[in-house]
Structure 1
Amino acid sequence: MKIVCIGDSLTEGLGVDKEKSWPMILGELGKMEVINRGISGDTTTGMIGRFYQDVIGYQPTHAVIMGGCNDLWWGMPVNAILANIYSMAKQALHHRITPIVGIPTPIYMKGLDHDIIWEPVAGYPVLQNKLSQLVNELKNMAEKNGWHYFNFYSLYMNENKVINQQYFLDTDGLHPNEEGHLDMAQLALGSSIWT
């Protein structure tokens, strides 16, 4: 089994040692070959542009496709993000690679350092609404097509629908810390796709 994880900073592991990113922990815990092709700041359009080289070129059995947060930051419509992720999943299937959709993590607003992080083009309230919409639409798309997905968004919310702030880096409310990545890897490892 060989897995390629393509995405942005949530996959790459911005802010933690790269060996502590969830794809690398998944590989270690699951005794699987996992290749991390996350690039910080990438959009789903950028991911499509490198999909053949960064995913298909490795001839994996599975591809975890997670993106959209940077797209939303720049004001891209949710439908455009869905179309890009759908396109990558279909390319994977064409090459006999099982696609897995990664559902992005929420944003912990109280943890944001506004001196470091640019404000989204349409502002934070619009971003939050669009992220919720994207999360729901990604799940719907995966379920309708019979694709597996890793619901990292729900992992980051407690039973009261409040964000688990302990999962984020101290410096921002966007990127997981080591604990966040570890629990993401464990969620992925516990998926029924591997059984």
Structure 2
Amino acid sequence: MILIAGCSRSVSPLTRLTETDVILAFGDSLTYGTGVSSEMSYPSVLASRIGRTVINEGIPGELSSDGLLRLPRLLDEYQPSLVVICHGGNDFLRKQPIEQLEHNLKQMVQLARDAGAEVILVAVPQPKLLMLSDAKVYQKVANEMHVAFVDDALSDILSETNLKSDAVHPNAQGYQLLAEAIEAVLTDAKAI
């Protein structure tokens, strides 16, 4: 619980979600729930906590450039009211240019908006020598695009050995904490 209290959140107002609104959880293995059963992934935990449909569209190993190509089909298929974007970890691991990640994240936000959805951006930690810290690119995108933002949650979780299933993925307790951090943003933004 201390982790959540320590997380900073940038909250832009969100439209209140009805019980029938769909949330699209979009990302890579952190969204998919690598390291745990599908019921313990953050989208599943979030759905049970807030009583809304949360579609898990996480693809392990996906780069943000591939995600950008995949997103339009998902927006059309699910017609979500809200998209939670948690993407970019594989870009860091494969040493992709940070400018490309920034561009891709901005395009994802714009695609979601163009489809009538609001956005929450989840910062993904950038591995650095002996530590993890949230990449500043997420704060920059959140500020420039005026979207709700979950900062520090993943870097705090992945900094604790007892919250990880491996070097780069949370365990069930870690995903629970991530879901709680996203729920806190939804609550603060008056979306639930």
TM-score (norm 2): 0.80
Aligned to 1:119: none
Once the two structures are superposed, the pairs formed by residues 1-195 of structure 1 within 5 Å of their partners are 1-105=21-125, 125=129, 132=133, 135-151=135-151, 153-154=152-153, 156-157=155-156, 163-169=159-165, 172-191=166-185, 192-193=188-189, 194-195=191-192
Q: Which has the higher strand share?
A: 2
| Runs (5+) with no aligned partner, structure 1 | 108-123
Aligned residues: 169
| Contact 2:29 2:59 (C-alpha < 8 Å) held by counterparts | yes
Cα distance between partner residues in 1 of 2:65 and 2:52:
28
| Runs (5+) with no aligned partner, structure 2 | 1-20
| Contact 2:123 2:154 (C-alpha < 8 Å) held by counterparts | no
CA offset digits 1:53-84 (Å, max 9, x no partner): 12332100000111111112222111100100
Q: Which runs of 4+ in 1 moved over 4 A?
A: none
**Higher relative contact order, structure no. (Cα contacts within 8 Å, ≥ 6 residues apart):** 2
CA RMSD of aligned residues (A): 2.2
TM-score (norm 1): 0.79
Identity of aligned residues (%): 25
Structure 1 counterpart SS, 2:36: coil
